[in-house]
Amino acid sequence: MPDKLILPLSGHIDSNNSAQIESELHEKIAGTEGALVVLDAGKLEYISSAGLRVILRLKKTNPDLSIINVSSEVYEILDMTGFTEMMTVEKAYRIVSVEGCEEIGRGANGTIYRIDQDNVVKVYNNADALEDIRHEREVAKLALILGIPTAISYDVVRVGDSYGSVFELLNASSFSKILSREPEKLDWCAREYAAMLKKIHGTLVPAGKLPDMREKALECARFVKDHLPDGYGDRLVSLVEAVPHDDHMIHGDYHTKNVELQNDEVLLIDMDTLSVGHPIFELGPMYNSFIGFSEYDHDTILKFQGFDHVTGRLFWRRALAEYLGTKNERKLNEIEDKARIIGYMRLIRRSIRRGCIQTDEGRQEAELWTKELIGLLGRVDTLTFNANEIELEAQPGNLAEVQEFVDEHLRAAGCPEKAKMQIDVAVEEIFINITSYAYTPDKGNAAVRVEISEAPVSVTVTFLDHGVPYDPLSKADPDVTLSAEQRQIGGLGIFMTKKLMDGVEYEYKDGQNILKLKKNL
């Protein structure tokens, strides 16, 4: 980006002073090499055609010339004469003060204040504010088109030295506020929060419209790599590299101050970090906002969100369970660990970049995060996850957990009670089979995956294990016409499974026994 040269115009410009003003302007421009010239018409009261000619000539030598802070009278002249078609002409903005206004949210590049009952203003804290405002507006429009409820700014104003965008946000409470004032609503909040998140992550974005969070995560990993002991840094980078590209939307800063309840509608605000990417890149920062940031100093979250770290942790777990569709602690821990890797990585970089490690506290905080990160890097295989699958030791004691996990998904799919019973029995038969035969006498793991498909609605439960290759379907069915004396018990479980399910398939592939049960609902 070339430098910007802002030249003020003031008072009157007509044939009496236009030549002088023109030479002054040219003098100021002459010193700069190809700078972007911006005329600031904040104090310009009147311009005659002589003045217009000066601007026209300026445009010929500075094709990217723009004029800002134009009063409505001058704007009319520029519009009437066609200048607005030839160059960027921006009207002067209304001035707004946020003194004494309540801060209701804070994002990466701006702070949100409530200026009156119906409106909030997001004040940007950098010089490129107008560009950011334009970008956020574009992004919010895109989100709205794709079906995400959000507010669009309707006006741009000046706030002190910077700019702000004004949104209509009536009678709204952020989820942070609700959590701090009405703790009994925690479960409801977690459900709505997770529902919005699922909606966001389920939204496919056309290529190129939003930045790729994977790129940013890789940059972060490479930065942090140099601050980790040998081997761990490489591990971190390769874990992030292995995360596949994903064109689904992620918010980028999804904490409870950015989710608002307006009347009965849940809205997402602060869209400037909207990106695309794998959900783990969202869960990492989320972990940070509820736990990570205040892991060392528990008061941090109280200051930033308004609720304490106990509520933060509780909310995080509830919301994660709602988002994943399972209460299985093993699963939640597994995914929390992956999220923590991304989370700590970002916290460490932030700490270093902001010089926080200059203070004792900052250093200790960073050390804590680093220690946790190293521990996690030692035991996490991959950052990707499947909410529909759990892996656990193949032993009978785990049967209840497996059935409960499957049942959660069945309930979510609206499975009728009878079918659920039948599936539960089939699950037991197969799982117990694995516990009995796959690894005996050694131990081993089994994975259970539940997939629901629509139109027609059906459920497929898949069992995977690395044990002895065994095809349960190869055994002959027991003869069910025999009398009690003659009946054998063997093979009954598989027989029941085949009878109760609509489809049973087996294959041995890549060293795994894969058994699929299918039931139409």
User: Does 421 help bind other proteins (rule: CB under 8 A)?
Assistant: yes
Q: Which is nearer to other proteins, 71 or 262 (CB)?
A: 71
CB of 46 to other proteins, least distance (A): 11
CB of 394 to other proteins, least distance (A): 13
Q: Which is nearer to other proteins, 47 or 123 (CB)?
A: 47
Closest residue by Cα to residue 446 from 407, 494, 395: 395
Neighbours of 405 (CB within 10 A): 25
User: Does 473 help bind other proteins (rule: CB under 8 A)?
Assistant: no
Region of 285-293, 336-344, 372-380, 396-404 interacting with other proteins (CB under 8 A): 396-404
Contact with other proteins (CB under 8 A) among 50, 152, 218, 413 = 50
User: Does 465 help bind other proteins (rule: CB under 8 A)?
Assistant: no
With 0-12 / 13-18 / 19 or more C-beta atoms within 10 angstroms meaning exposed / middle / buried, residue 161 is: exposed
Q: How far is residue 349's CA from residue 236's CA, in Å, rounded to a whole number? A: 13
Is residue 133 within 8 A of residue 163, CB to CB? The reply is: yes
User: Does 7 help bind other proteins (rule: CB under 8 A)?
Assistant: no
CB of 60 to other proteins, least distance (A): 8
For 488, the 3-state DSSP assignment is coil
User: Does 56 help bind other proteins (rule: CB under 8 A)?
Assistant: yes
CB of 482 to other proteins, least distance (A): 8
For 373, the 3-state DSSP assignment is helix
User: Does 416 help bind other proteins (rule: CB under 8 A)?
Assistant: no
Q: Which is nearer to other proteins, 20 or 126 (CB)?
A: 20
User: Does 406 help bind other proteins (rule: CB under 8 A)?
Assistant: no
Question: What DSSP string runs through 234-282?
Answer: HHHHHHHHTSPP--BEE-SS--GGGEEEETTEEEE---TT-EE--THHH
User: Does 418 help bind other proteins (rule: CB under 8 A)?
Assistant: yes
Q: Return the C-alpha torsion angle 208, 273, 285, 181, nearest 10.
A: -140
Contact with other proteins (CB under 8 A) among 22, 272, 365, 408 = 22
Q: Which is nearer to other proteins, 411 or 499 (CB)?
A: 499
User: Does 39 help bind other proteins (rule: CB under 8 A)?
Assistant: no
Q: Which residues contact 439 (CB under 8 A, 6 or more apart)?
A: 394, 465, 467, 468
Q: How far is residue 105's CA from residue 255's CA, in Å, rounded to a whole number? A: 10
Q: Which is nearer to other proteins, 368 or 425 (CB)?
A: 425
φ/ψ region of 243 (left if φ > 0, alpha if ψ in -120 to 50, else beta) reads beta
496 phi/psi in degrees, rounded to 5: -60, -45
Bridging pattern class, strands 36-47 and 66-70? parallel
Region of 36-44, 95-103, 238-246, 420-428 interacting with other proteins (CB under 8 A): 420-428
φ/ψ region of 164 (left if φ > 0, alpha if ψ in -120 to 50, else beta) reads beta
Contact with other proteins (CB under 8 A) among 108, 400, 412, 473 = 400
Site for other proteins in 74-113 (CB under 8 A): 77, 80-83, 85-86
499 phi/psi in degrees, rounded to 5: -75, -40
Question: What DSSP string runs through 301-351?
Answer: HHHHHSS-HHHHHHHHHHHHHHHHT---HHHHHHHHHHHHHHHHHHHHHHH
User: Does 48 help bind other proteins (rule: CB under 8 A)?
Assistant: yes
User: Does 16 help bind other proteins (rule: CB under 8 A)?
Assistant: yes
* Contact pattern for other proteins over residues 476 through 505, marking x by CB under 8 A: ----xxxxxx-x-x--xx-xx--xx-----
User: Does 57 help bind other proteins (rule: CB under 8 A)?
Assistant: yes
Q: Which residues contact 484 (CB under 8 A, 6 or more apart)?
A: none
Q: Which two tokens stand for residue 183?
A: 């703790």
CB of 238 to other proteins, least distance (A): 41
Q: Which is nearer to other proteins, 387 or 399 (CB)?
A: 399
CB of 341 to other proteins, least distance (A): 36
Q: How far is residue 165's CA from residue 123's CA, in Å, rounded to a whole number? A: 7
Q: In what order do the strands lie in the sheet with 110-114?
A: 94-95, 153-159, 162-168, 119-124, 110-114, 102-106
With 0-12 / 13-18 / 19 or more C-beta atoms within 10 angstroms meaning exposed / middle / buried, residue 163 is: buried
Q: Which residues contact 88 (CB under 8 A, 6 or more apart)?
A: 66, 67
User: Does 19 help bind other proteins (rule: CB under 8 A)?
Assistant: yes
Region of 50-58, 202-210, 224-232, 271-279 interacting with other proteins (CB under 8 A): 50-58
For 148, the 3-state DSSP assignment is coil
User: Does 422 help bind other proteins (rule: CB under 8 A)?
Assistant: yes
Distance linking the first and last C-alpha atoms of the chain: 59
For 389, the 3-state DSSP assignment is strand
Contact with other proteins (CB under 8 A) among 355, 397, 441, 511 = 397
Q: Which is nearer to other proteins, 58 or 186 (CB)?
A: 58
User: Does 1 help bind other proteins (rule: CB under 8 A)?
Assistant: no
User: Does 295 help bind other proteins (rule: CB under 8 A)?
Assistant: no
Region of 115-123, 222-230, 345-353, 397-405 interacting with other proteins (CB under 8 A): 397-405
User: Does 382 help bind other proteins (rule: CB under 8 A)?
Assistant: no
Contact with other proteins (CB under 8 A) among 20, 32, 126, 453 = 20
User: Does 14 help bind other proteins (rule: CB under 8 A)?
Assistant: yes
Footprint on this chain of other proteins (rule: CB under 8 A): 14-17, 19-20, 22-23, 26, 48-50, 52-53, 56-57, 60, 77, 80-83, 85-86, 396-397, 399-400, 418, 421-422, 424-425, 428-429, 432, 480-485, 487, 489, 492-493, 495-496, 499-500
